[in-house]
Amino acid sequence: MATDNQVTLVGNLTDDPELRYTPNGAAVCKFRMAVNRRFQDPSGQWKDGETSYFSINAWRTLAENAAESLTRGTRVIVAGRLNYRTWENQDGDKRSAIEVEADEIAPSLKWATAAVTRQARSGGASSSGDWGEKVAAPVGGGADQEESPLDGG
């Protein structure tokens, strides 16, 4: 994977993700996210800067997991590649957009917790880090929760 076109964004989903399938059966999930810039002014007060909006595309298993896990307002971290595309609308006007083709999507844990459910592999060996069994990791660490293989239990 080339590293000359990488972007990492942290922001909130503006709508629920939309999951569709291509004619050959590949899952594609599309959503938009808002990214705010916060900064301190010279007096030390925190200010919100302009909000930027990005269209995110995820494919295959990542698409299905994102559509199942994320909802409007969810704060996420997206790592991927910028993709510039052009097309002509029905009136013949040329249009263009810069989108992010997601390689990874994760909930931000800065102000929230998340439960992780490992998905079973759908085929042979994978170098993408897919896990082979389904395991729910505990959230919150309560004494009444079952121990997870992640913490040695």
* Whether 58 and 25 share a structural domain: yes
> Please, are residues 69 and 37 in contact by the beta-carbon 8 Å criterion?
no
Over range 117-131, report the average pLDDT.
Answer: 59
* Whether 54 and 100 share a structural domain: yes
Over range 70-92, report the average pLDDT.
Answer: 95
- CATH number, domain at 43? 2.40.50.140
Does residue 42 lie within any of the structural domains?
yes
Over range 112-133, report the average pLDDT.
Answer: 64
Q: Three-class SS of residue 79? A: strand
Most distant CA pair in the chain, distance? 63
Question: Which phi and psi angles does 137 have, rounded to 5°?
Answer: -85, 135
Q: Residues 127, 128, 133, 139: what is their CA dihedral angle, to the nearest 10 degrees? A: 140
Q: Which residues contact 100 (CB under 8 A, 6 or more apart)?
A: 7, 9, 54, 55, 56, 57, 78, 80, 81, 82, 83
Rounded Cα distance, 19 and 29, in Å: 4
Give pLDDT tens digits for 27-42.
999 999 999 988 888 9
Does residue 2 lie within any of the structural domains?
no
pLDDT at residue 145, rounded to an integer: 35
pLDDT at residue 105, rounded to an integer: 97
* Whether 66 and 137 share a structural domain: no
Give pTM, 2 decimals.
0.70
Over range 37-52, report the average pLDDT.
Answer: 88
Does residue 101 lie within any of the structural domains?
yes
Does residue 1 lie within any of the structural domains?
no
Please tell me the least confidently modeled range out of 17-21, 79-83, 110-114. Answer: 110-114
Domain hosting 140: range is 115-153
Over range 17-28, report the average pLDDT.
Answer: 97
* Whether 16 and 54 share a structural domain: yes
Does residue 23 lie within any of the structural domains?
yes
Mean pLDDT estimate for the chain: 82
* Whether 132 and 102 share a structural domain: no
* Whether 84 and 120 share a structural domain: no
Q: How many Cβ atoms sit within 10 Å of the Cβ of residue 135?
A: 12
